[in-house]
Amino acid sequence: MSTASTKPLMPAATKTHKTPEKIKVSGVILVDKPQGMTSQQVVSKVKYLFKSPNHDSKKAGHTGTLDPMATGLLPICLGEATKFSHYQLDADKTYQATILLGSQTDTGDADGQIIAQAPVPMFDETLLEDVAQQFLGAQQQIPPMYSALKKDGKKLYEYARAGIEVDRPPRDITIKAIELKAIDKEQIQLTVTCSKGTYVRVLAEDIAKTLGTLGHLTALRRLQVGSFKIDDAIGLADLEALSLERRLTYLLPVDACITLDAELSLTAEQCVRVYMGQRLNVTEQLTDSLRSYISASVEQQHSHDENSVTQKNGDDDKGGDSEALLPYEIPVDIRLLNEQGQFIGLGAVSLNGRLQPKKLIQL
């Protein structure tokens, strides 16, 4: 016969096991994108390759799309580095492409269907040099229908697949350098350095038209993005063959995308305050070289503004008492360092000594 205890029942002691916090993977990796994958598929693969029970690689993104047919340099930002990817989105890019003359496809490349054909005239290196010169400099380009640009909330390629063509406003682009070389009687190698938003497919079609025929891309390889070069990139298969420890050695610093050289060192107390979002007065820390950098940057901003006026609050047509900033009040981006010389993020500083934190990383 069992007996029941007269002692009051006590709740069983529960042990709490705190899950150790994962290490956030942060940095920039230069990938040599293989043909046939979308840029987003490459990002997903990289996230997987840097994931482990102890590592968090959920946050990642690339700095500019490459078409599935294209290969070459695809910088991928992980973790805290994603905060600064926009610097490379706006960077100049260099491509090498092959143009097949005599036929046009609906997509502008070899992935599409041939929709028109034309005879290929004779050409030589002298003619190609003359044609290349015609495309140098600032110009406007109409984006292709097969692109991810949106109209009324819908991507252009969705309209194109439905057989609908919509008006696309031309966009300002700049061709910084261009070279055309004959491969054979029907193929041309194009090497071009261009500004953000340039469609090499459209450029290839326009070059073919200038030669008196039609054309489309059969190969496209990105060689450079800003200061990043394809020679420093690693292929996905090569990256996958490495251990995680080795993969981590290919990560560039979180600030690798930032093109600014100017930097300001903060005290420990100032670091605490900027991480709280507070503005600082750093007048006494502005060296002559920093003041020269700020002045030059302000001057550059003015050169892009015909009225040389920056508004503090919104647009003129809002009817408020918006007050124009004076030159010594205009903020300029600057790198911020802690006392140990570690990069902690970006701030905006003006000649009057006011520093506003912008994007800070979690150390």
Q: Catalytic positions, please? A: 67
| Bridge partners (DSSP) listed for residue 52 | 55
Closest CA to 185 of 101, 246, 95: 101
How many Å apart are CA 128 and CA 207, to the nearest integer? 9
Q: Distance between CA 187 and CA 97 in Å, rounded?
A: 10
How many Cβ atoms sit within 10 Å of the Cβ of residue 346? 20
CB 239 within 8 A of CB 30: no
Cβ pair 56, 257 in contact under 8 A? no
Q: How far apart are CA 286 and CA 318, in angstroms?
A: 36
Nearest alpha carbon to residue 187 among 209, 206, 215, 212: 215
Inter-residue contact 76 to 60 (CB < 8 Å)? yes
Burial class of residue 10, CB neighbours in 10 A (0-12, 13-18, 19+): exposed
Cβ neighbours of 61 (radius 10 Å): 16
Amino acid at 360: L
Instruction: Kindly state the tokens that stand for 110.
Output: 């070899």
74 in Cβ contact with 33 (< 8 Å)? yes
Buried b (16+ CB within 10 A) or exposed e, 200-223: bbbbbbbbbeebebbbbbbbbbbb
Cα(12)–Cα(17) distance, rounded to whole angstroms? Answer: 16
Q: Which amino acid is at 297?
A: S
In the Cβ-directed half-sphere of 245, how many Cα atoms lie within 13 Å? 0
